Amino acid sequence: MPIVKIDGKEIEVPKGTTILQAARMLGKEFAPPAMCYYSSIKGTGGFCRTCLVRVSKSSAQNPNPMPKLVPSCKTEVMDGMEVESYSNPQVLEARKGVVEFLLLNHPLDCPICDQAGECKLQDLAYEHGAAKGRNEFKRREFEPIEIGDKIKLHMNRCIHCYRCVKLADMLAGKERVHGMIHRGENSEISTYIQNSIDHEWSGNVIDVCPVGALTDKTFRFKSRVWFTNPMDAHRKCDKCCGKVRLWLKGQEVLRVTARPSNEYGEVTEFICNECRFEKKKISDWVIEGPSKIDRHSVISINHYEHLNQLKVEAMKHQKALGFIPFDKRP
């Protein structure tokens, strides 16, 4: 089995493992960001370039570095390979550039977007982006598209990750009615001649979309996600696993989503549209208990504790610098 070194740490992995998968095996702090790769969807990866790394040694046989940064989700490890990710300033700078490109046409309408608070692009920009963008051009604009009675598409927010297309390929096969049309900066996710997506598993595209481009019409504008109370629940369903996450406000079920099964927020057990859109009464479900949100996000447990710690540290510096808070000034 090949042995690879990532940011100075060695791991032995099965043949055929990609650098990104090997880094995830090492732990979350080694894992490059990924906006298009999704471990449970076939054919994902290679579209967004957020997972770029530098291969400083190609293999035990070939100690030369690879000439360019490579997408770690599409590059298989070789025995003796050495990879630099978070330890290489060139890689970090390149990731900043990728974030800038992803935001080039993004409307930054987080204050009114349903995905705010659980958006992968927000997290990415916060963790890997630059403080300022340099774009002075007009962003492209689309009218929202109704793709069925339950899903609305906001193309303005799409980052062309292809996750929804690949998921539809996997779940619907030849019945898929949406995809990427046009090319380059004109490319857009769309259905052929405004078709609606009415496959009985279609709602899953909402969960895998990393941004707020595909939205659940039964939840739109009902609540900010951080005002809801996520609960794990299940029901007996003859179409899917029936294991879901309910987003509650009091006793009201505002939204039903599939339950992510790993620390990267990825779903492995997809749910049917009946569970997602039609079972909106709390009595439809057996409640298991509060969900543990294991992500760096405003909705995760202890997030505010973390912020408080930062504040405590900042306050210490203020004191050392002789700074007097404005409410304590004479």
- Applying CB under 6 A, the residues found at the interface with ligand SF4 are 158-164, 189, 208-211, 213-214
Shortest reach from residue 49's CB to ligand FES, in Å: 5
Can you read off the two tokens belonging to residue 18? 């990609």
Shortest reach from residue 154's CB to ligand SF4, in Å: 8
154 binding partner (options ligand SF4, ligand FES, none; Cβ < 5 to 8 Å by kind): none
Shortest reach from residue 251's CB to ligand SF4, in Å: 31
**Contact partners, residue 207, CB within 8 Å, separation at least 6:** 257, 258, 267, 270
3-state secondary structure 246-303: EEEECCEEEEEEECCCCCCCCCCCCCCHHHHHHCCCHHHCEEEEECCCCCCCCCCCCH
Shortest reach from residue 282's CB to ligand SF4, in Å: 30
Closer residue to ligand SF4 in complex, CB, 217/235: 217
Closer residue to ligand FES in complex, CB, 72/257: 72
DSSP 312: H
Size of residue set near ligand FES by CB under 6 A: 13
162 binding partner (options ligand FES, ligand SF4, none; Cβ < 5 to 8 Å by kind): ligand SF4
Closer residue to ligand SF4 in complex, CB, 13/213: 213
Q: Which residues of 100-122 are buried (b: 16+ CB within 10 A; e: fewer)?
A: bbbbebbbeebeebbbbbbbbbb
As a whole number of angstroms, the distance between CA 308 and CA 87 comes to: 28
160 binding partner (options ligand FES, ligand SF4, none; Cβ < 5 to 8 Å by kind): ligand SF4
Q: Does 167 bind ligand FES (CB under 6 A)?
A: no
As a whole number of angstroms, the distance between CA 248 and CA 253 comes to: 5
51 binding partner (options ligand FES, ligand SF4, none; Cβ < 5 to 8 Å by kind): ligand FES
Shortest reach from residue 123's CB to ligand SF4, in Å: 14
**Contact partners, residue 208, CB within 8 Å, separation at least 6:** 38, 41, 163, 164, 167, 267
Binding mask 253-282 for ligand FES (x = CB under 6 A): ------------------------------
* Beta-bridge partners for 57: 82
Binding residues among 23-52 for ligand FES as defined by CB under 6 A: 34-37, 45-51
SS3 content of the chain, % helix, strand, coil (to 5): 30, 20, 50
Closer residue to ligand FES in complex, CB, 104/241: 104
